[in-house]
């Protein structure tokens, strides 16, 4: 046991001396958290206000414009007002800075009462996956305003002439909608909620299969492993020591990622945070085993630098690390359940966001434990201290 501990600690310290490893362990995850979390912020439509810039040079008290504003605000749009008199919002941002822009024509009240067509222009650029929903909500607000005017014209002629929309705004609702939960609630995570756990899963795999495997490859290439094999250390102790060293590296990555996710990106790991940690620790054990296997089988540096990165990126994309797998086609969701990254992400979503308990991720845990044993088995059977390049 002392030999295993000694080898593991030495291997772990040796890995931490590499500046490249430190950068990819402590800096790059934060960069990816921020980038992926920002770009995937619209993958779910869950209750976030959408900013809408409005250009209007007409009368500020125009009742039609005011009614449109009210309807848009009811659709959770955060409105930013612009005109020739007010070209800047809060003395900083210009109308062109916004990705969703709405142009309202002047004197809409008179145009509407005369029966002429009122043309409203809407443009969006670089919109997220909620683009169609945002357009629908905007059209809904506009048509509701038109419907409000028709109600006034048909039933409240004097109010229609004065464009007094308070009459329809104060009408009681003739139809009410009773909303209640009909089943298990699945609020699909987006933004940082999705990115931080997903990218952490990817980085644990990538760091293990690159830096962890590369250090073992170099030890084979330089003859260090051959000399260790000749020392009074058993093959079992040598392999377990190397595996434990890679596991320690992945565990540091895991703890760091969870803490930074909580402090910098306000990630709440849920009431079952301990099970989340155990789940990711099992994933780290899987990756550590395959790192030893990869380091034993590689015959050149190109294999170490290329294959693990390609495999990590592919498994991350197909397993739901980059985006919520719940928004993908059904065939892709089914495929993810055949991949270890898919098991991890599905379990994380259940524990953190879908109200699952420990019993709901038992199969995920058992599958990861089994895969960890399999990876360690192959690490033992394929371990080769000799290098033949």
Question: What per-residue confidence (pLDDT) applies to 45?
Answer: 45
Q: Where are the beta strands (DSSP E) in the chain?
A: 50-56, 77-82, 88-89, 93-94, 100-104, 121-124
Domain with residue 79: its CATH number is 3.40.1710.10
Kindly state whether residue 132 falls inside one of the protein's structural domains: yes
pLDDT for 302-353, tens place per residue? 787 788 889 889 999 999 898 888 888 888 989 999 999 999 999 999 998 8
Whole-angstrom CA distances from 116 to 33, 69, 161, 163, 315 are: 51, 21, 15, 16, 57
Kindly state whether residue 184 falls inside one of the protein's structural domains: no
Q: Which of 68, 172, 165 is nearest to 122 (CA)?
A: 68
Do 64 and 155 lie in one domain? The reply is yes
Distance CA 143, CA 146 (A): 5
Residue spans of the chain under pLDDT 50: 44-47
Question: What per-residue confidence (pLDDT) applies to 326?
Answer: 82
Question: What's the residue count for the chain?
Answer: 389
Whole-angstrom CA distances from 8 to 109, 128, 145, 170, 382 are: 77, 46, 70, 73, 19
List, as one string, the DSSP characters of 49-104: -EEEEEEE-S-TT-HHHHHHHHHHHHTTEEEEEE-SS--EETTTEEGGG-SEEEEE
Tokens of 155: 């039933």
Domain termination residue (choose one: 134, 169, 204):
169
Do 154 and 21 lie in one domain? The reply is no
299-308 contacts, C-beta under 8 A, 24 or more apart: 299/387, 299/388, 299/389, 300/389, 301/214, 301/217, 304/210, 304/213, 304/214, 304/217, 305/210, 305/214, 308/206, 308/209, 308/210, 308/213
Q: In the chain, how many domains are there?
A: 2
Do 219 and 121 lie in one domain? The reply is no
Kindly state whether residue 181 falls inside one of the protein's structural domains: no
240 neighbors 4 (Cβ within 8 angstroms): yes
Do 222 and 90 lie in one domain? The reply is no
Do 16 and 89 lie in one domain? The reply is no
List, as one string, the DSSP characters of 172-223: PPSS-------S-------THHHHHHHHHHHHHHHHIIIIIHHHHHHHHHHT
Kindly state whether residue 180 falls inside one of the protein's structural domains: no
Do 81 and 196 lie in one domain? The reply is no
Distance CA 67, CA 69 (A): 5
Kindly state whether residue 386 falls inside one of the protein's structural domains: no
Helix (H, G, I), strand (E, B) or coil at 382: coil
Count other Cβ atoms within 10 Å, centred on residue 333: 15
Kindly state whether residue 387 falls inside one of the protein's structural domains: no
Q: What range does the domain containing 135 cover?
A: 50-169
Residue 325 has what DSSP assignment?
A: G
Q: Which of 250, 221, 238 is nearest to 312 (CA)?
A: 250
Question: What per-residue confidence (pLDDT) applies to 47?
Answer: 46
Kindly state whether residue 97 falls inside one of the protein's structural domains: yes
Question: What per-residue confidence (pLDDT) applies to 131?
Answer: 76
Do 238 and 373 lie in one domain? The reply is yes
Do 160 and 232 lie in one domain? The reply is no
Question: What per-residue confidence (pLDDT) applies to 283?
Answer: 94
Do 242 and 326 lie in one domain? The reply is yes
Do 82 and 204 lie in one domain? The reply is no
Contacts of 294 (CB under 8 A, 6+ apart): 209, 213, 216, 304, 307, 308
Do 220 and 317 lie in one domain? The reply is yes
Distance CA 108, CA 258 (A): 53
Kindly state whether residue 94 falls inside one of the protein's structural domains: yes
Do 101 and 229 lie in one domain? The reply is no
Tokens of 177: 């909608």
Residue 359 has what DSSP assignment?
A: G
């Amino acid at each position: 046991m002392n030999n295993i501990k000694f080898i593991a600690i030495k291997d772990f310290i040796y890995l931490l001396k590499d500046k490249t490893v430190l950068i990819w362990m402590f800096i790059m995850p934060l960069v990816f958290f921020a980038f992926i979390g920002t770009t995937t912020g619209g993958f779910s439509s869950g209750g976030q206000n959408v900013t809408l810039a409005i250009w209007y040079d007409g009368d500020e008290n125009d009742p039609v414009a005011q009614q449109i504003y009210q309807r848009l605000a009811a659709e959770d749009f955060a409105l930013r007002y612009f005109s020739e008199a007010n070209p800047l919002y809060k003395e900083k941002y210009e109308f062109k800075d916004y990705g969703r822009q709405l142009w309202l024509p002047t004197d809409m009240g008179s145009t509407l009462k005369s029966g002429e067509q009122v043309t409203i222009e809407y443009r969006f650029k670089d919109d997220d996956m909620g683009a169609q929903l945002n357009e629908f909500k905007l059209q809904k607000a506009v048509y509701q305003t038109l419907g409000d005017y028709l109600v006034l014209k048909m039933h409240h002629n004097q109010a229609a002439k004065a464009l007094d929309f308070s009459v329809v705004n104060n009408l009681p609702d003739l139809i009410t909608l009773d909303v209640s939960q009909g089943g298990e609630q699945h609020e699909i995570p987006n933004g940082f909620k999705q990115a931080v756990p997903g990218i952490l899963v990817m980085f644990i795999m990538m760091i293990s299969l690159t830096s962890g495997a590369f250090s073992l490859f170099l030890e084979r290439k330089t003859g260090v492993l051959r000399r260790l094999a000749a020392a009074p250390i058993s093959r079992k102790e040598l392999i377990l020591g190397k595996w434990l060293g890679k596991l320690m590296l992945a565990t540091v990555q895991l703890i760091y990622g969870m803490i930074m996710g909580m402090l910098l990106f306000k990630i709440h790991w849920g009431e079952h945070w301990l099970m989340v940690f155990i789940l990711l620790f099992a994933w780290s054990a899987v990756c550590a085993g395959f790192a030893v296997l990869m380091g034993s089988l590689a015959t050149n540096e190109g294999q170490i630098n290329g294959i693990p990165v390609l495999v990590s990126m592919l498994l991350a994309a197909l397993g739901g690390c980059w985006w919520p797998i719940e928004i993908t086609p059904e065939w892709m969701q089914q495929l993810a359940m055949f991949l270890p990254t898919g098991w991890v992400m599905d379990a994380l979503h259940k524990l953190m966001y879908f109200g699952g308990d420990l019993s709901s991720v038992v199969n995920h845990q058992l599958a990861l434990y089994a895969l960890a044993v399999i990876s360690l088995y192959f690490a033992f059977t394929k371990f080769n201290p000799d290098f033949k390049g």
